[in-house]
Structure 1
Amino acid sequence: MRKKIILLADDDMDDTEMFCEALEDIDENIICECAANGKEALQVLESLDQIPELIFLDVNMPIMSGWECLKILKNDKRYQDIPVIMISTSSHKKDMDIALELGSMCYFVKPYDFNDLKHILRSIALNLGANLRKALYQLETDGSGHVFTCKDDN
């Protein structure tokens, strides 16, 4: 089976470890590539042989923030079609609105519980590709209490 690459840019090593562990538990064919900031994420993208299925960007990172990285990704023809999900510990509506305005597919607040994170990532990982938007919408409306905001393309 073909490997699927997911790129995660997050400067919190504990969150990164938990994130990648959850993805490995969900699907052994997912490779979680990691970067500690937006600049490093762009370097990782350049070095990959295959375009990632999805990019997760933490909002607040040193050197280059998730916002700055998202702007660059969406203005680069090579990467503009890769779905991007912004992640943060902030649940401020303003941040969610900015994420969607800049071209992110979705914004979610990082859960502190491993099983909650795994639930979210399972739904995302099992629906990479054409069904991703539908899966994100279901997460947004499932009543679980997770803070999710997704772009409505209707």
Structure 2
Amino acid sequence: MKKKIILLADDDIDDTEMFCEALEEIDEDIVCHCAANGKEVFEILNGITEKPELIFLDLNMPIMNGWDCLTLLKKNADYQDIPVIMISTSSHKKDMESASGLGSMCYFVKPNNFKDLKEVLRVITSNLGGDLKEALINFQKSGSKHIFTCS
């Protein structure tokens, strides 16, 4: 089976470990590359042969934050077509609107528990390569308090 490649940028080591553990439990064919900041995102992208199917970007990271990284990704012809989901503990409407304006597919509010994280990641990973945007819209409509789709 073909490996699904995901790139996660988050400087919180606990969140990163929980995220990777959830992905591993969901699908052993997922390869998750992890970066601690936006600068490392580009180092990883430049060092791997296959582009990731999805990038998760935390908003607040040192060196290069998620906003700046998203802006650079969307301006780069090699990476602009990779879907990006912004992640944060913040549920401020202004942040969600900014994510949309910069080209993020959706905004993901980090859950406080492992079960909710797995539920969100299962929906996302099971729709990679398909109509992920539609799946996220439907997930939001079903009452998820973690996914907020961008227009």
What is the match of residue 148 of structure 1?
A: 147
Q: Which amino acid aligns with 1:151?
A: C
Kept in 1, the 8 Å contact 2:57–2:87? The answer is yes
Kept in 1, the 8 Å contact 2:86–2:107? The answer is yes
Which contiguous aligned blocks of 4+ residues in structure 1 show a shift greater than 2 angstroms? none
Determine if the alignment matches structure 1 residue 103 to structure 2 residue 125. no
Kept in 1, the 8 Å contact 2:96–2:150? The answer is no
Instruction: Give the CA RMSD over aligned residues.
Output: 0.8
Deviations 1:21-77 (A, max 9, x none): 000111111001000001011111111110000000000000000000000000000
Segments of structure 1 that go 5 or more residues without pairing to the other structure are none
What is the match of residue 78 of structure 1?
A: 78
Identical-pair percentage: 64
Q: Which amino acid aligns with 2:51?
A: I
Q: What SS is found at the alignment partner of 2:61? A: coil
Q: What SS is found at the alignment partner of 2:49? A: coil
1:134 Cα deviation after fit? 1.3
Q: What SS is found at the alignment partner of 2:82? A: coil
Kept in 1, the 8 Å contact 2:120–2:146? The answer is no
Q: Distance in 1 between matches of 2:43 and 2:140?
A: 31
Deviations 1:99-131 (A, max 9, x none): 000000000110011000000000000000222
Q: Which amino acid aligns with 2:108?
A: F
Q: What SS is found at the alignment partner of 2:23? A: helix
Q: What SS is found at the alignment partner of 2:76? A: coil
Q: Distance in 1 between matches of 2:135 and 2:67?
A: 24
1:149 Cα deviation after fit? 1.8
TM-score (norm 1): 0.95
What is the match of residue 47 of structure 1?
A: 47
TM-score (norm 2): 0.97
- Any residues of structure 2 matched to 1:1-154 within 5 Å, and which? 1-144=1-144, 146-152=145-151
Q: Distance in 2 between matches of 1:40 and 1:51?
A: 15
